[in-house]
A = this chain, B = another copy of it.
Amino acid sequence: MSAPAGSTRLERTRDDDAETRMASISALFEPTSVAVIGASDDPTRIGGRPIRYLREAGFGGAIYPVNPNRSLVQGLPAHATLASITSAVDLAVVALPAEQVLDALAACAAKGVRVVIVFSAGFAEADEAGAQRQRAMAQIARDSSMRILGPNCLGAFNAHNGFFGTFTQALDQAGMSAGPVAIASQSGACGGHLSYLCRQRGIGIGYWVTTGNEADIELSECLLWLARAPTVRVIVAYAEAIRDGARFVEALKTARANGKAVVMLKVGRSQVGARAAASHTGALTGEDAVYDAVMRQYGVHRAASIEEMLDIAYGCARGVLPRDRRLGIVTVSGGVGVQMADAAEQFGLETPPMPESGQARIKAMIPFAGTANPIDLTAQLANDRSLMGRCLDIVLSEGDYASIILFMTSSPAVPASADWLMNTLAEVGQRHPDRLFVLSFAAPVEVVRRFEAAGYLVYEDTHRAVRAVGAMARMAQGFARERQPRPAAALLAQSLAASAAPVARPALEALDEHGAKRLLAAAGIPVLREIVAADAQAVEQAAEDLGTPVALKVLSPDIAHKTEVGGVALGLATPQAAACAAREMLARVREQLPQARLNGVLVSPMCGGGVETICGVYPDPVFGPMVMFGLGGIHVEVLRDVAFRLAPFDTDEAFSMIEEIRGAALLRGARGSPPADIEVLARTLSRLSVFAHVNRGVIAEIDINPFLVLARGHGAFALDALVLPTAA
């Protein structure tokens, strides 16, 4: 399920399949009739809660409690079996002990139920018997057209139509008001907790789903459906391991194309965390750096905590994103203003100073004000409250900031101050309707709600306010980038369309360095002009042709480490010296490795200067071929200063990849050396990604080390290359 499809035929099947899958997720969120198997009369029990929630939420469809021991369940007529329900059943909720679940599923399939939600625990997360039951469950889903959510999940809800197929206790206290936020969580408890916290913060949830053990329906399908849902603005996702990398990426692309923010908590960053995640879901947790790269590449905000995730979801839910990264900071405390400026830099926002004229106008009103940015209105405000509105007006009209964060200490905790602030903001806001207004103050929750109802974002902590605005600006930038025609993206599409069929597998067997380089050269990766020479005489001629000095490398598909057998000679100054070295080299290698196939000697011009980099490809089990980039030597091996991207990607993405490593300054021309040819490097990385993508079925790994990047205008070259086929 998780392996990337290798052929066009498979992909077509997949596309058809995708629409069927989306229809089944629609059936999950929008059922017209619901049966609860294992229904309880007690509205606090697992089998009782869904019925209670459905009725409290005014679900419009039919509700069928299934319970052989009662005639009424919570006042509704109960059915002894599912089969005894005469009408069609769209969706069934199963709240039974694990041992009874398979029978219930068989009955559901026989009845023609479209989706079943299985709450029960005791499957793959428990023991081998449970894992067996889970495999049988998956088989039922495959054999029927019926989909299964769970087992070991808390179900799903759709606050828009009152469908509550869940027993989460987080809904106990009050109903959920529908809103633009959707939550998809692999962990049930975490999903429930998120819904409680959202309600506490006044964040309205439209759709909510927990996928549990994912015997059938998995997170990525849900994300894709939510990315298409018109009322969803923000998708909050909690994941431990993605099972279907391709669909996950499709979901993220769809969300970005539709301008929906995705905020995600992917756990398992640490060694210990990954250990716990693996035991919790029984799924293979991919390398964290790969997840990180994929999320970055497709514009997901990866949060480190639930609080961060909700801070950003809350900000995006309002639907106003800043048009750029320019932030104006207005404060009544100089100190807190400085803190916000620090945070702005940390979170990728710009805080350009106000123009001189605007600064002068504020100084004229408040002589001791800080006027650059942060704009510190000082305690003067306490003496003349009209100053705030007038200053804000100047900041907004002259400063040209996309966002404003206004820090007010705890003054709105005083009702009169809150009224005054509300009025001032309303006036100023009318004149600048295109700006994002964010307030930061500490006050009782009623005061916060009042400002939120008027359309402002309120964060008590300034650091969290700035972090959220930074994330929102980054997302807005990603959405804008999607909407504009980009030459790099067009070029990528073009080169993918024009890509030849994958390399034939036989051509990949017994590939020596020269063969690998020719393969890469055909894919547009720059290599030096090199000559294969069969013997010492041919080497002499080749050195003559190429010009000295030259390097020699023995060519053999059987020799991985050439240096160790004396198969490399560098800096040979004359054709004669080259011939002599070749003779000696071939004799030595034949003596040491008499079985090795020898394809001759590769003669290359010596190439000095420049920056050594490493460009590689390796297959991630979840996502497919990942391209890796780093600087050569200690940078990759010791400092682990590398960047990853999922193939294929365009040159814009390649530039961002290059910029991402800490050592990028070396390529920009540090220590008096000229800037390197980053353009050629970026083009090469993009081409490598296309090549890796097209050949993902046959090529497993590629290692170009070193890839030497010369000064700008002088190009870059693969000096050594290794291409490994996939296991046949």
Contacts and interface: CB of A to CB of B under 8 A. Distances in A.
Interface of A: 121-122, 125-127, 169-170, 172-173, 185-190, 192-193, 196-197, 200, 238, 240, 265, 267-273, 275-277, 279-280, 304-308, 332-339, 341-346, 351, 367-368, 370, 372-374, 376, 378-379, 382, 409-411, 413-414, 442, 460-464, 634, 637-639, 662-663, 665-666, 670-671
A172 B373 CA distance: 30
Given A190-B336, A276-B372, 14 more contacts: A196-B409, A196-B410, A197-B410, A270-B341, A270-B346, A273-B339, A276-B337, A279-B370, A280-B335, A305-B463, A305-B464, A308-B463, A634-B671, A639-B663
Contacts of A376: 276, 280
A86 to B, nearest CB: 34
B370 A411 contact: no
Contact of A461 (B187, B306, B332, B351): B306
A308 to B, nearest CB: 8
Q: Which 7 A-B residue pairings sit nearest by Cβ, starting from the closest? A: A187-B335, A189-B333, A305-B463, A270-B345, A273-B342, A280-B334, A190-B335
A342 B267 contact: yes
Given A372-B275, A462-B306, A196 B267 contact: no
A268 B333 contact: no
Contacts of A308: 463
Assembly stoichiometry (copies): 2
A370 B463 contact: no
Contacts of A367: 126-127
Nearest to A185: B335
13 contacts: A187-B334, A188-B333, A189-B332, A193-B409, A197-B442, A267-B339, A269-B346, A275-B372, A280-B335, A304-B342, A306-B463, A634-B671, A638-B671
A603 to B, nearest CB: 29
B275 A634 contact: no
Contacts of A344: 270, 272
A408 to B, nearest CB: 10
A305 B461 contact: yes
Given A121-B379, A196-B409, A197-B442, A634 B306 contact: no
Contacts of A368: 121-122, 125-126
Contacts of A121: 368, 378-379
Contacts of A410: 169-170, 192-193, 196-197
Contacts of A374: 276
Contacts of A637: 670-671
Contacts of A197: 410, 442
Nearest to A280: B334
A187 B414 contact: no
A52 to B, nearest CB: 15
A273 B341 contact: yes
Given A125-B368, A372-B276, A634-B666, A463 B339 contact: no
Given A411-B169, A634-B670, A663-B638, A267 B372 contact: no
A56 B449 CA distance: 32
Contacts of A307: 460-461, 463-464
A345 B409 contact: no
A277 B189 contact: no
B333 A187 contact: yes
B409 A336 contact: no
B663 A273 contact: no
Nearest to A281: B334
Contacts of A335: 185-187, 189-190, 238, 240, 267, 280
A348 B634 CA distance: 26
Contacts of A343: 304-305
Given A272-B351, A370-B280, A638-B670, A409 B339 contact: no
A380 to B, nearest CB: 8
Nearest to A267: B338
A276 B334 contact: yes
A193 B407 CA distance: 11
Nearest to A130: B368
A368 B151 CA distance: 14
A125 B463 CA distance: 25
Contact of A413 (B196, B305, B333, B464): B196
A307 B460 CA distance: 9
A276 B338 contact: yes
Nearest to A272: B341
A373 B414 CA distance: 46
Contacts of A638: 663, 665-666, 670-671
A268 to B, nearest CB: 6
A271 B345 contact: yes
A471 to B, nearest CB: 16
A367 B98 CA distance: 13
A497 to B, nearest CB: 40
A461 B265 CA distance: 14
A166 to B, nearest CB: 13
A378 B169 CA distance: 14
A203 to B, nearest CB: 13
Contacts of A336: 187, 189-190, 193, 306
Contacts of A411: 169
A704 B273 CA distance: 43
A254 to B, nearest CB: 25
A716 to B, nearest CB: 19
Contact of A196 (B187, B337, B342, B442): B442
A663 B382 CA distance: 52
B345 A272 contact: yes
Contacts of A634: 663, 666, 670-671
